[in-house]
């Protein structure tokens, strides 16, 4: 079987939902504020095209070949990724972007963000060290990205920890069409209304038996949802995937969660459909972490080894190490 091309599968639906707050202060997705998602039976076009094609794709795709082809697409396209991100991880995520073969630009100021995003293949919004002016810049750049069909990846860092973080994430989800939401279990479950638990910017929650709530959240919001942890979980509301690669040292250095969002944005910037971009981006990222973790003496040596592994990642490494299941 030849390597899969980027268009060997159906594009995901782009049904954008709206997220609101419950009367008890909780965050909930309200069906009345959502663009209605019809079942396959109600929508003959979905039944005859997307659903059957997705089912066929699930049974024919070879995950390692998919990730290899998608990584080659990133390196060939060399897309620009516009980051409006937190100031803790700026250098690290810029280097991750470069090591994957894309080009980073950090342009957080509202005076230029809507102009800069025009040149990007994807826009990454990360609320890790946010303030109200930064959110306004994210909204301005995001609206322009939506107008141009540029995919947006949202990292809702610390959603559920404070009212500012939760409210900002809700506002971005409510006003922008977000292609991929990448967060930890606590952040994503908070936004889904399923009661996520966070401590600062760290999750004290796992997907566990709440995967169905995440699938529902993806379906209702219209965004691919990628939850990272010991096992990564990705869904577009119809398809799901799990990725079991990684290393415990990834949790002992600052910014690996944010870096995972950057990896997804690099793949999305290359014209790859959001579900597949999330799967392949997280797979490449976690395999590099697994390789580096096996060689590092501790957190201090992990980061340079990780960047080297990301830059040198190839089809053989992916084929030997990838632990992915697509359902």
Q: What is the pLDDT of residue 44?
A: 34
Which among 223, 249, 251, 255 is positioned nearest to 237, based on CA atoms?
Answer: 223
Mean pLDDT of 43-55: 46
Q: Is pLDDT of 35 > 60?
A: no
Which among 240, 215, 180 is positioned nearest to 54, based on CA atoms?
Answer: 240
Q: Is pLDDT of 58 > 80?
A: no
* Domains defined for the chain, CATH in brackets: 63-326 (3.40.1190.20)
Q: Is pLDDT of 271 > 70?
A: yes
Q: Is the pTM higher than 0.95?
A: no
pLDDT digits (tens, 9 = 90+) for 274-297: 999 999 999 999 999 999 999 999
Q: What is the pLDDT of residue 210?
A: 77
Residues 6+ apart with CB under 8 A from 172: 125, 127, 135, 138, 139, 142, 154, 156, 178
Mean pLDDT of 147-163: 94
Q: Is pLDDT of 110 > 80?
A: yes
pLDDT digits (tens, 9 = 90+) for 60-104: 789 999 999 999 999 999 999 999 999 999 999 999 999 999 999
Q: What is the pLDDT of residue 195?
A: 63
Cα 302 from chain centre: 23
The DSSP-derived string for 274-291 is HHHHHHHHHHHHHHHHHH
pLDDT digits (tens, 9 = 90+) for 178-200: 999 999 998 999 898 866 544 44
């Amino acid at each position: 079987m030849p390597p899969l091309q980027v268009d060997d599968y159906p594009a995901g639906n782009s049904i954008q939902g709206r997220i609101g707050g419950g009367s008890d202060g909780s965050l909930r997705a309200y069906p009345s504020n959502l663009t209605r998602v019809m079942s396959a039976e109600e929508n003959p076009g979905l039944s005859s095209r997307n659903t059957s094609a997705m089912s066929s794709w699930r049974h024919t795709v070879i995950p390692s070949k998919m990730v290899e082809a998608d990584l080659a697409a990133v390196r060939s396209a060399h897309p620009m990724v516009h980051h409006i991100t937190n100031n803790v991880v700026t250098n690290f995520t810029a280097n991750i972007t470069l090591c994957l073969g894309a080009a980073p630009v950090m342009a957080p100021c509202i005076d230029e963000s809507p102009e800069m995003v025009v040149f990007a293949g994807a826009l990454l919004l990360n609320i890790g060290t946010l303030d109200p002016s930064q959110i306004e810049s994210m909204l301005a750049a995001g609206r322009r990205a939506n107008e141009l069909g540029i995919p947006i990846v949202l990292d809702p860092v610390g959603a559920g920890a404070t009212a500012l973080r939760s409210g900002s994430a809700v506002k971005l989800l409510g006003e922008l069409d977000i292609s991929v939401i990448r967060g930890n279990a606590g952040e994503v479950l908070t936004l889904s209304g399923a009661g996520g638990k966070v401590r600062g910017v760290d999750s004290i929650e796992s997907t566990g038996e709440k995967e169905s709530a995440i699938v529902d959240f993806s379906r209702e919001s219209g965004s691919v949802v990628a939850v990272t942890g010991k096992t990564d979980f990705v869904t577009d509301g119809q398809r799901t995937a799990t990725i079991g690669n990684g290393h415990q040292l990834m949790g002992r250095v600052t910014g690996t969660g944010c870096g995972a969002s950057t990896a997804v944005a690099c793949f999305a910037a290359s014209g790859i459909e959001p579900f597949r971009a999330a799967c392949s981006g997280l797979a490449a990222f976690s395999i590099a972490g697994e390789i580096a973790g096996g060689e590092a003496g501790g957190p201090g040596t992990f980061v340079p080894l990780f960047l080297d592994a990301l830059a040198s990642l190839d089809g053989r490494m992916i084929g030997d190490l990838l632990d992915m299941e697509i359902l």
